[in-house]
């Protein structure tokens, strides 16, 4: 499973990096490795192609925004985010809530699809 998913995704990243090197374009390696990781986890765990190496999507942006928010909360001197009543009034908190909701919805959908696949496989094994 891992070689079926990891190999093609890694080769795709290598091609992307080779093209950037040939054109002299700088590359954000942290972003590339994050995209690669998301693609591999999506395919291996959820049978879902995030296609993060090829395009930005609202889900990918939501993940990055949530990670940045987590980092920000760890260093906030005044943890306003603990007061949920204030969240609608603070733009950063509104954005964080929206991104978390998108991540939750997507995760719930992926888990539901995985359960359906397992149920179908179990039914096929019984028959």
Sequence ranges of the domains in the chain: 1-54, 56-127
Distance from C-alpha of 56 to C-alpha of 58, rounded to nearest angstrom? 7
What is this structure's pTM? 0.67
- Reading the chain (127 residues) residue by residue, the pLDDT tens digits are 667 888 999 999 999 999 999 999 999 998 899 889 889 988 888 888 889 999 888 888 898 899 899 999 999 898 888 888 988 899 999 999 999 999 999 989 988 988 998 888 888 887 7
pLDDT value for 12:
94
Q: Are the C-beta atoms of residues 36 and 53 closer than 8 Å to each other?
A: yes
Q: How far is CA 96 from CA 8, 56, 67, in A?
A: 33, 18, 10
Helix 91-126 / helix 58-75 crossing angle, nearest 10 deg: 120
Distance from C-alpha of 120 to C-alpha of 99, rounded to nearest angstrom? 32
């Amino acid at each position: 499973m891992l070689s079926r998913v990891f190999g093609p995704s890694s080769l795709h990243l290598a091609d992307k990096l080779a093209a950037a090197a040939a054109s002299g374009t700088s590359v954000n390696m942290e972003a590339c490795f994050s995209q690669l990781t998301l693609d591999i986890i999506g395919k291996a765990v959820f049978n879902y192609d995030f296609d993060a190496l090829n395009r930005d999507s609202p889900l990918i942006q939501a993940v990055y925004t949530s990670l940045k928010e987590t980092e920000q909360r760890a260093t906030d001197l005044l943890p306003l985010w603990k007061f949920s009543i204030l969240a609608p009034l603070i733009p950063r908190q509104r954005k964080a809530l929206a991104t978390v909701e998108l991540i939750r919805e997507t995760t719930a959908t992926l888990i539901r699809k995985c359960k359906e696949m397992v149920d179908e496989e179990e039914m096929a094994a019984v028959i």
